Amino acid sequence: MTFYTMYNKCQRWREYWKVIKMAATLKQISEEAGVSIRTVNRALKEQTGISDVKRQEILEVAARMGYIPNIAARNLRLRKSNFVGIVTGTNENDIFIRKSHDLQQRLEVHGFFPISGLLQTSPEMVRSMLSEWAGMVDTVVLFAWGEWLPEDVLVSLPQQFIFVDCKQIPRNCGFHQIKIDRSSGIKDAILFLLESGRSRIVRSGNIGDRAEGVEKAFRSFRGESAEKILIETGGSEFEDGYNLGKTLMESKADAVFFDTDRMAFGFLKYAWEKGIRVPDDIAVVGFDDDPWGNYSCPSLSTVAHPIAEMNSRIVELSERRSAAPEAIIFPTRFIKRQSV
C-alpha cells in the first residue's frame, strides 16, 4: 500500500470519528425536543404511542443534531449483525484488490456491510482489534495472517472466522478455510500446449507455487516426448517479461508459461517490437486473468483465479453461520484466447 493510500484512509477515518464525536445522544435529543427519552426512542424506532406530528418534530431534531444510532448495541440486543469484517495485509497487489472488491460487492448485494481492517503486527493487537468488532461483526474474513496459531489468537472470540488463501494455516485449525488450487488451471494450460504439438515449453518467473501444475501436466501427458525448461527471473513484473525476450527466443522455445500476466504483457511488447509472431512462432500463457488480457494483441491466454466461486461461498457462510468448520478448495481454470 502506498503512502498516499494510507494517508487517504487515515483521513477518512479521522472524518468518520469526527462525525461520531459530534453525534447526539438520546438524552440530548430529548432535552432539545422537550420530551422524555422514552418518547424519543419510540419516535426513532417508529413505534406506536406517539402522534405523527410529534414523531416528525423529534426526527427533525435528531437529524439536525446529527444523531447516529449505536449499531453495536443494537446488534447485541437483536443477536444479529449485517456487518462482515475483512482483514487484509499491507501488500495489496492487483489480484487481491479484485478479489476484495468483488467480495464487497457480493456482500452488499446480500444486505451486508463490509468493514475493513489491516492485519496488526502482533497477536495481541490482532485480538484487540477483533474484540472491538465483537457485537457489531458476526463474520470476519481473513485474507492475511501471521505465523501465530489461530486458536491461540481467536480463542473465546464470538465471531465466525473464514481464512482465505492463507497458506500458513494448518488444515485442521478449527476454523473455516478457503484455499485456491493454482496447479489445476496451470496443468490444463500446459496440457493444451502439449496436445497442440508444442514440444519445447518454458516456464518463466519466480513464484514457487506455479511449478506443481507444470509438473502434473508433463506427468500426465501421453503424447510424444516434449522438453520442459525453467527460466527463473528476479521478479514477476512487466519489465521482467520484456527483458526476458531475447533469452527466451534464443532457447528455441515454441511455448512459454509466465508466472503472471504482467510478465506475459512485457513479452508481448518485446515480440511486437521484434516482429515475433504469437502464437505462430511461440505460444504465450499468463496467470491471473488480468482484465487487460482481453484487449492485448493478440488477446492473452491465461489461468484465472476462482474469484466468483470463492466469494459466493464466503457470502453463503456469512448468511448461515455454520458451526462446523469447512475446508474448501477451489480450482483455477485455463482460459484459451488468441495467444495459443
Q: What is the pLDDT of residues 257-298, one digit of tens each?
A: 999 999 999 999 999 999 999 999 999 999 999 999 999 999
Do 317 and 176 form a contact (C-beta atoms < 8 A)?
Answer: yes
The secondary structure of residue 149, as a DSSP letter, is -
Q: Which residue has the cell 516482429?
A: 275
Do 162 and 142 form a contact (C-beta atoms < 8 A)?
Answer: yes
Q: What is the pLDDT of residues 203-231, one digit of tens each?
A: 999 999 999 999 999 999 998 889 999 99
Mean pLDDT of the chain, nearest integer: 87
**Which of 7-11, 39-43, 44-48, 268-272 is modeled with the greatest confidence?**
268-272
- Per DSSP, the three-state class of 46 is coil
Q: What are the DSSP calls for 16-35, one per residue?
A: HHHHHHHPPPHHHHHHHHTS
Q: Shortest CA distance to 297 belongs to which of 241, 259, 256, 338?
A: 338
Q: Shortest CA distance to 88 belongs to which of 79, 78, 98, 76?
A: 98
pTM for the model stands at: 0.75
pLDDT at 24 over 70: no
Run of H or E including 201:
strand 200-205
User: What is the pLDDT averaged over residues 79-100?
Assistant: 83
The secondary structure of residue 339, as a DSSP letter, is T
CATH architecture of 3-69: Orthogonal Bundle (1.10)
User: What is the pLDDT averaged over residues 118-138?
Assistant: 91
Same fold, 81-181+308-331 and 183-304: yes
Tell me the C-alpha distance between 15 and 20, whole Å.
Answer: 9
Q: What are the DSSP calls for 232-265, one per residue?
A: E-S--SHHHHHHTHHHHHHTT-SEEEESSHHHHH
104, 115, 242, 277, 332 from 338: Cα distances, Å: 32, 40, 19, 12, 19
The secondary structure of residue 173, as a DSSP letter, is S
The pLDDT assigned to 73 comes to: 53
The pLDDT assigned to 182 comes to: 97
Do 245 and 270 form a contact (C-beta atoms < 8 A)?
Answer: yes
Strands (E) in 110-175, as ranges, are 113-118, 137-142, 160-164
Q: Within 13 Å of residue 148, how many CA atoms lie on the same side as its CB?
A: 18
Tell me the C-alpha distance between 321 and 324, whole Å.
Answer: 9
The pLDDT assigned to 46 comes to: 72
101, 137, 204, 213, 226 from 260: Cα distances, Å: 20, 35, 9, 14, 23
Backbone φ and ψ for 55, nearest 5 degrees, come out as: -60, -45
Please give the CATH topology (third level) of the domain spanning 183-304: Rossmann fold (3.40.50)
The pLDDT confidence band at residue 20, using thresholds 50, 70 and 90, is very low
The pLDDT assigned to 1 comes to: 47
Do 233 and 204 form a contact (C-beta atoms < 8 A)?
Answer: yes
User: What is the pLDDT averaged over residues 151-172?
Assistant: 90
User: What is the pLDDT averaged over residues 112-130?
Assistant: 92
The pLDDT assigned to 103 comes to: 94
Q: Which residues pair with 88 in a beta bridge?
A: 118
Tell me the C-alpha distance between 74 and 80, whole Å.
Answer: 8
**% of residues, the chain, pLDDT over 70:** 88
**What are the residue boundaries of the structural domains of the chain, listed by start?**
3-69, 81-181+308-331, 183-304
Comparing 23-32, 36-45, 77-86, the range with the smallest average pLDDT is 77-86
Tell me the C-alpha distance between 288 and 302, whole Å.
Answer: 7
Count CB-CB contacts under 10 A for residue 82. Answer: 15
CATH architecture of 81-181+308-331: 3-Layer(aba) Sandwich (3.40)
pLDDT at 83 over 80: yes
Q: What dihedral do alpha carbons 25, 26, 31, 36 form, nearest 10°?
A: -170
